[in-house]
A and B are shown apart, each in its own frame.
Chain A
Amino acid sequence: MKMLLKRLSPFAPDHSGAVSVLFELGGLIVICDAGGCTGNICGFDEPRWFTSKCALFSAALRDMDAILGRDEHLVRKTAAALEDTGSEFSALISTPVPAVIATDFKALKRMTERRTGKPVLAISAAGTGLYDSGAETAYLELMQVFAIETLPVEQGRAGVLGVTPLDFSRIDAGTVVAESFRKNGWKDVYCYGMGAGLETIRTASAAEKNFVVSPSGLAAAEYLKKTFGTPYEVCCPYLPETLEKELGSLTGKKVLVIHQQFAGNEIRKLVGKNVIVSSFFRMEKEWMEPGDIQFSGEEAFLEHFANEKYDAVIGDPKFKHLVAHAAERFIPFCHFAVSGQLEEGQTI
């Protein structure tokens, strides 16, 4: 049955993706839920939460809030928390509850802005989508709200979109990805949301070029291109060292990668055209090769491996037991959005 998971467990949802983009930016993050979604995001999908402080709150919605649609109550609570925390902005992130009762997030944003006098990001995420769609909305909203001034372009400055722990399975992903770009000659590298603060987003128009390292960053890169003329390039310069070591032995073999699309494409760049890239997450047509696969769910995934054999499958360890019969070798490549596991050597 489609949408039935018997062997896998659910992947990181949209609102976790949104939080992963906003976590380090110093805003007041309000998850518009009854509490459980906040617990899931913090306790499972946000590894930085255990080691650093963030003004992350649950709206603590109760049945009467949902029945009566008490938006004013939420605005009041948000304004009070903003006073407590002194945050520069607030972000209202949706969950299944507002989705079911059809909360008007644009109106909520206007009401909160009026009450607090500070910028508000409103991020629609029903909890039914995947993390990349929530991250995409968060990047776009951030740029639209804060990157408004056209500044002179600074040569050697690069902006990076799409770096989150959910994609890169590291709590220091911003550092290692930025370092990869610096090795390629870029002087000032800012991974928005990971290692680079709100000020770098405000001055995003000064970037000479933007790089998109996972599909969630594309919409914001397009926006920056349209608004400021900043060109962008899709690539993924960072792969774990242990994985890179394995790639040499795969030349000419039939290989399938299951990960986020741009990481898969990077592996193909290094190994050769024999690599097929697949994902449960967003696959952008423009960056797909013939034969690449987007799995629609567990059923399609199991069916694929019932009919295909590979010399090697590269993917999150969670997939290992499901593909063992169809792969000569399984090469682990952690994807936090799948298993909630960090790369080897990374601890919370």
Chain B
Amino acid sequence: MLGLEKKDLRLLLIVIGLTMLAPFILNPFPEGSEMAQFNAGYPDLMQRFVIFGIFAIGFNILFGLTGYLSFGHAAFLGVGSYAAVWMFKLLSMNVLPAIILSVIIAGLFSLLIGFISLRRSGIYFSILTLAFAQMSFALAYSVLTPITGGETGLQLALDDPRIFGAAQTATGNIPVPALFGLEMRASYELALGNWLFTFNAGYYLAALFLILSFYLAIRIFRSPFGMMLRAIKSNQTRMSYTGLNSRPYTLAAFVISGMYAGLAGGLMASMDPLAGAERMQWTASGEVVLMTILGGAGTLIGPVLGAGMIKYFENIFSKINDTILHGWFAFLPDGLENFVVAIIHPFIGKGWHLTLGLVFMLVVIFLPGGLVQGGQKIAAMFRRKQPEDAKSKATEPAE
């Protein structure tokens, strides 16, 4: 179906199921209970899950397939956000043209940067992309202030033209982004017993885009084009000796992943119509690298998992504080309880980046294939006998 193999179709169906039912799945704890703070089913966080999922899927098309490690991918996300906000300012508050434009602009921008950066490979490519992204960041922050809003970021204003839409609402406020009248922040709340589930319009729009992106990524992975990209990763020299010019393929992969980043940026601006230069900074580029590696570079589902993991723990870990810890370890004798809390203390709350760094190092050291590889190893332990070839096919990330 849809030109997919059975296994891929199953994967796609799983992703569809997970994203569509996310408000239920992410809210397992009843409202008001002690565990309710671990619920992730509120719109803001769910939107971030899927948006960064899209970003990571796109990054994976470049890094996972061709092995080119770009350290400046956040620039495309930033450009996408700016493009979307400008559409809101000039055209109307409809999100569709904004998202389309952000994809196009990010695509053009990545075509330019990719055309130059891809003349080199290896670490030189990483440094070139990093240099371009830092340049974009510095310019957006200073000289390009008329276009980017500089330090304060690009925001909507009451006196924006908005040719096809109202400049302001009847009550004199700035209108909110909407899809043909359906406001992105509109939510439907469903109370079932003690549980409260929120279904947010913006989330579902982003989720639809995620599914579409995921489907496209599967098609790319399984296409002759994807095969070519993997060949470039495994041995580019040999590819050139066979008389094949690899540049157009890498450039195409670069532009595709730049467009994914632009889509993520456009969606981000649609959920919250402002864009800032810090989205382009190299730390933001580093984050998407972390997500992809953590989940499993070169695998289909890995980047989505990695993005979800990082964004979930970023929110939840930073919420845990000492009081909560004391609550958990109350069953221990007092001295031991304080000791355990003191040990865990540096890793929670503001220290969550420490946890992230450690987890990331452990993954790179022991699980080069990311969480997906870890999951497969565990699955293989339970499934004792497995046909050898099927296993190697499943566990090997694209070399």
A and B assemble together: no
